[in-house]
Amino acid sequence: MITEERKQTIKLMIAIAVLALILILVLMAMIKYEVEGEQNMPFKLSKIIVISTAEGIENETENKNKLKWNFDIFQNNDVSFYIDSNTEDENLLIKSVTIDNIKILKAPQKGEIKVYMPNSEAGRLYNYEDQYVVNDSLQYKGASQSSSTELEIGSKGGTAWICFNNMGIGNYTSDEVKEEIRQDGTWLKKLEIPKEEIEFTASFDFTIETTKTKYKANITLDFPAGDISEDGRSSLEKTDMRDIIFKRVK
């Protein structure tokens, strides 16, 4: 016959086992969340497109010898983020999308990295002036539709933009009147710069704030996309987001 003391011991052991199992399950759920993040966000980052090329700006002040061609060359990488709705709740909207905590994890051997927001005036998407440099963060406010000039993103899904530029990678001068000048990555050939010398890696936080919750992920991208010295203009389309882990912001 099992004594009362023995019964209490068995009950205690069962309680401890159940508690241990619950703790294990909670720990497993926490680890899974840390590894996989949110699995059913109401708005998801569905695609990232990087377009890389190079451009030259005429250097009139330094062109003392009145050469036919005198260009300061920089390498630009336009990045577009596409966010799609993943909810049937019509009242759940995007309040804002923020890009911040920008870091250069691997600096290029040549040039200096500057990050630009879209031009606030009509015309070309980017104007590489100091007033458009992103120093701390770039935020797009939710609106009826996405607008690069107004820094707005569609509240039910849309697009956000940013540009990572490698400024001052070289200067090209020539007095060849019939020389073909192309405003693209073939500048690197003229400057005899191998791709390895301008490659760099950037990371940043990407936050989607809805009317209910905030979700944040860290994104790392390598630049430039493709071999721009051969192709002139190269692009990368990223749709596999398994390495981008969104978590709720408490």
What does the pLDDT look like over 132-159, one tens digit per residue? 999 889 999 999 999 999 999 999 999 9
Which pTM does this prediction carry? 0.85
CA distances (Å), origin 235, targets 45, 48, 51, 238: 18, 10, 4, 10
- Give me the phi and psi of 152, to 5 degrees please: -125, 150
CB atoms within 10 A of CB 145: 13
- Cα–Cα distance measured from residue 140 to residue 144, given in angstroms and rounded to the nearest whole number: 12
| Residue type present at position 176 | E
Q: What pLDDT score does 65 carry?
A: 61
CA-nearest of 23, 32, 152, 25 to 95 is 152
> 47, exposed or middle or buried, with CB in 10 Å at 0-12, 13-18, 19+?
middle
Q: What is the mean pLDDT of each run of 10 residues along the chain (250 residues)?
A: 71 78 73 68 96 90 67 96 94 97 97 93 84 94 95 97 96 81 90 95 97 95 95 95 90
> What contacts 240, CB < 8 A, 6 or more positions away?
none
